Amino acid sequence: MKKLNKIIITKAQLKELIDWAQKCYPNEAPAILVGKINTSNNLGIVENVYTLKNVVESPVKFQIDPEEQYRIYRIAEENNQEIIGIFHSHPMSPIPSAIDLPFLKLHQNIWVILSTTQDIDNLKAYQWAEDELNKVEIEIIE
């Protein structure tokens, strides 16, 4: 995936992710973010949010059922959409953990992390691109 500078997500989509994270707490809550990528602006626009079960039910890592992940990828392809990124919650600060980093490097799409314990500055996005970890701006719209 090309390096992106920003993703756009709606308030309703963000509320769905926050609600999912709270429901799964203290375990990590994964989701797949699907939409369109504007390569001329290095921008990802989230159109659909798919919340998924963390099959390992862990507060320090998550795993999505491969069949569920494949199903979401097929839906995206059938709708001419792309995988914008992977969302998951952390019961700590919203930075990639040592467990997250190898997967960030492997997939190179956006990883959006929500802290379920911080009230301020609790949502961050990252992408592994050009051999380094890059912060990605998140724009929240109506």
Range of the domain at 55: 6-127
Task: Flag whether 23 is in a domain.
Answer: yes
CA distance 132 to 84: 18
Q: What pLDDT is recorded for position 132?
A: 92
Give the total number of structural domains in the chain: 1
Residue 11 backbone phi and psi in degrees, to 5: -60, -40
pLDDT along the chain (142 residues), means of 10: 93 97 96 95 97 96 96 97 96 92 90 92 94 95 96
Per the listing, tokens 């839906």 go with: 75
Token pair, residue 76, equals 């995206």
Catalytic one among 28, 57, 67, 130?
A: 28
Rounded CA separation 97/61 (Å): 9
99 inside domain = yes
Q: Determine the Cα–Cα distance for residues 29 and 76; give it in Å rounded to an integer.
A: 21
Is the overall model pTM greater than 0.75, yes or no? Answer: yes
CATH code of the domain in which 28 resides: 3.40.140.10
28 as an active site residue: the answer is yes
CA-nearest of 38, 40, 16 to 112 is 16
